[in-house]
A and B are shown apart, each in its own frame.
Chain A
Amino acid sequence: MRRSQNETRLDLAGLLAHGSLRGTTPLYLTPSSSLVESVVLVSQLEEIRKVRPNTVVVLSPVMGSGGWLVSAALRHAWERRASAVVVAGSTYASAAVGLAQRLGITLLAADGDPSALALALAAEIGAALSVVDAELARVARAVAKDTTLADVLKTISRELDGVGVLLGYDGVVLASAGIPPRETDEVVTVEVGEANGAVPFTLTVSVPTSGVHNLRVVRSILEVATPAVKAAWLLEDLLGTTRAIPTAAIAGLDQDPVVSGMEFEEKHRHLLNQLGWREGEHYVAVWFRDGRVQDHRPELTAVLRLLWRKVTARSPLAEVQGGWLTLVPAGDQDASTQLETRIRTRLGPAFAELGLTAGLSRWQEDGPALALIVREARLAAESSRSTGPGTVLGLASLGVGAATSFVDVDAVALVAELTLPRLMASPDRDVIITAAAVFLDHRSSVSLAAKSLNLHRNTLQARLNRARELGVPLDVPSELLSVHLIAKVLQRSLQD
């Protein structure tokens, strides 16, 4: 529904053409028409110093008259960014026209008593404001009818003639409606949510600068719509939690890692059936993990649920111990790959912002037990921790390499410092470490390692000897694993 915004936004041009200022004589008009948001009748020059911007300043006749008075009033009004100055009569005012022009502020001469004009203007502004109030009430009623968050955002956007409306969290867009924002838009933001939340949720509207929207009115509309936004969201969250119970149950029930997946399913067959899990159906599990252990963020569930909708709406997201879990039906390998890609592209950047990671289970032909794929997804998510926030990792791509992701990098580095002090202190340490790492990567083959590093084998041999001199045990079989581990950990820290 499109309706005209003009009657709520008063400006000088409109007031002069057909509003309460039409009886005045413009002594000087600024080229662009200013907004009018209030009117003040002053009886002393000092009063002008306190007016708000976009006010029409009317000089009361008790102030006396004289060109000097109009000049001083123009100056004060200009400093306060008033919309215009209105004086009684034009005899004394005409001398000040030059100053009005120079300062760039509109000067009007009233025919009769300026006090009467001030009253008429106040009434007109009041009427415009009450029109605004009526509108806000209508917007409130419209959004109250909506039950889903998407509908509320759409309604807000529609009320504002299709502008872009966003619900955001910590810089991440959770939901949106209307046209996407452009560089040149004016942005109005209103906070949604409890005051004690560390990071607020925001409702943002991007208004085109050349548009008809009065920014104050837009803000008011957002403020009025906020409760509806919160209500719809809470409702959805509640429904989402309900829908996710079957998913949460699996993780909740799977407490004993020793029990195999098959055993688990047999044990809980009846419950799983009741919860709606059918035997033989293929799923991919996705586990989400919060990379930031320090600050506990209870609101992330709601955030994730909204973000998850960008991937699919049909698999509910459950909050479980250690993260969040969802099970997505996947008919074949392609579906699984597609899912991984989709999560990565649509949620990757948001996850990076929020410090989250995701892990996926492997798709398997023979439909593995649900508990198993949950464990796989969890493992993948844990592994992805080490590669940094925003990582989306499928266990399939990880393979056994997942094991090394559980390495405590800091502890290993500490071991290196303590047990290989000479190496760590050596100036050519970086080169030596690289040489050792690649050497061990190639199962202690100097020629293969040299080839992969593009070095002459004698050069590499010299470096390995140097390593040995510095105390690196490259020849003790039982320690090779540890050395290899240290070398890889240190090598990775070099690359960072």
Chain B
Amino acid sequence: MSTVLTTEDVRNLRTGAHFLTCTIDPTAIYVYAEMIQRAMEDRSVELVTVDELAPDDLVVAVGMVTQGLFIADMPPVGDEFLGCIRAIEASLGRPVRAIYSLAAANINGIVPLMVGLQSSLPVIDSDPMGRVFPLISQTTLSIGNVAIGPIALMGATGERAVVEVESPQRAETLVRALVTELGGWAATAMYPCSAQQLKEHGVHGSITRMIRIGQILDADTPVEGKLLMLAELLGTTRIARARVNHIESLSRPTDLGLPAQPSSLTLDDETTGRIIRLEIQNEILLVLVDGAVTAAVPDMVTLLNSEQGTVVNIDDVQVGDVVDILKITAAAQWYTEAGLDLTEPKAFGIPIAHPRRPHA
């Protein structure tokens, strides 16, 4: 059922996109949200479900891929995604009928709306991650053997590339190299597939979910009410309400220097005395409660301010803050063998098998 999005939807989407990745500074999301709301004054963007498309309609994922640069460092010119879509169309000789987000969280959760506004293409309420993962090979489409290429990239410089590649891991390497040379980020279009393929392998309801999350969080309800509603909507569980006790930046060895963002947090659950530890590397990868694994990637973990129920930005966390640690189950595809192979902690350099991994 297709919907025309409102500015309020966009504001809610902004909150929802941030909620699903509290570890990344949401400034860029906010900047985009502002842009989109202004652009919506004389244009509209349509949200469709994947069922509404004909099964063999060509659809493509759009998203920013960054390497060493925030979007805000080098502002997009505004035509990069359109350029990518045109390149895909030229490469495949067919028009693109609709677009979907490469990852329905963080900035890539909201970027498709701008692209939709500019191109008049409808935005599909589905995505191939259901959350943010750092590698473009970590998608449910990849598990389903949907081809990642051809991939179109375009940077702020206006330079454009089309990469034809089969292996998603090789795609990751090539794209990263190009992104670096394009200045640090590039707009991309990839995973061109049929609506049928997206229907079979994608995660559905992603955009509406983010909007709904935003509705809950932005409302003027007490925190407990918000937590209940989030539990109903997403199946979130609150691991604990705990006070930040220690922030470490050198908690895992790196080659050089000190990471800019905290890489682990230790918290105390004051009512039960439990000691909680979060391991972070761009995303929260692991939660240990008294040393026992309670949540591990692909599970999503996010932090809410315990007083106001707003998303806590991890760069702003201070010792003494009291936060609610929420665990959100990721899309079901991630808990299959193939999914866990791609995304469990071992894939991030933490040698722990996921607790849901079926034991041999």
Which residues of A line the B interface, CB within 8 A?
A: 44-46, 63-68, 71-76, 78, 91-92, 95-96, 98-99, 102-103
Contact = CB atoms under 8 A, between A and B. Distances in A.
B277 interface: yes
Contacts of A74: 291
B251 A95 contact: yes
A67 B273 contact: no
A66 B251 contact: yes
Interface residues of B, number: 25
A98 B275 contact: yes
B290 interface: yes
B251 A64 contact: no
A288 to B, nearest CB: 62
B35 to A, nearest CB: 39
A95 B291 contact: no
B117 interface: no
A72 B250 contact: no
A48 to B, nearest CB: 11
B290 A99 contact: yes
Nearest to A75: B291
A167 B351 CA distance: 55
13 contacts: A45-B351, A64-B252, A64-B253, A64-B349, A67-B266, A72-B352, A73-B291, A75-B292, A92-B251, A95-B264, A99-B290, A102-B290, A103-B290
With a 10 A CB-CB cut-off, give which of B250, B286, B350, B351 has the most chain A CB atoms. B351
A73 to B, nearest CB: 8
Contact of B288 (A46, A72, A78, A102): A72
B351 A91 contact: no
A68 B286 contact: yes
A418 to B, nearest CB: 71
A72 B264 CA distance: 14
A201 to B, nearest CB: 45
B290 A72 contact: no
Given A44-B351, A95-B266, A66 B253 contact: yes
B275 A91 contact: no
Given A68-B277, A73-B291, 18 more contacts: A64-B349, A66-B253, A67-B248, A67-B264, A67-B266, A68-B252, A71-B288, A72-B293, A72-B352, A74-B291, A75-B291, A76-B291, A91-B250, A92-B252, A95-B277, A96-B291, A98-B245, A103-B290
B291 A103 contact: yes
With a 10 A CB-CB cut-off, give which of A68, A74, A92, A95 has the most chain B CB atoms. A68
B299 to A, nearest CB: 15
B337 to A, nearest CB: 18
Contacts of B351: 44-45, 63-64
A237 B19 CA distance: 85
Contacts of B170: none
Interface string B242-282: 00011010111100000000001010000001110101000
A67 B286 CA distance: 12
Contacts of B279: 66, 68
A30 to B, nearest CB: 16
B277 A71 contact: yes
Contacts of B253: 64-66
B202 to A, nearest CB: 32
A370 B352 CA distance: 86
Given A63-B351, A65-B253, A92-B251, A98 B292 contact: no
Contact of B291 (A46, A64, A72): A72
A49 B264 CA distance: 25
Given A63-B351, A68-B264, A75-B290, A102 B275 contact: yes
A237 B31 CA distance: 100
A63 B266 CA distance: 21
Given A66-B251, A67-B264, A102 B273 contact: yes
Contacts of B353: 46
Contacts of A46: 353
Contacts of A95: 246, 248, 251, 264, 266, 277
Given A45-B352, A95-B248, A95-B266, A67 B277 contact: yes
A66 B252 CA distance: 5
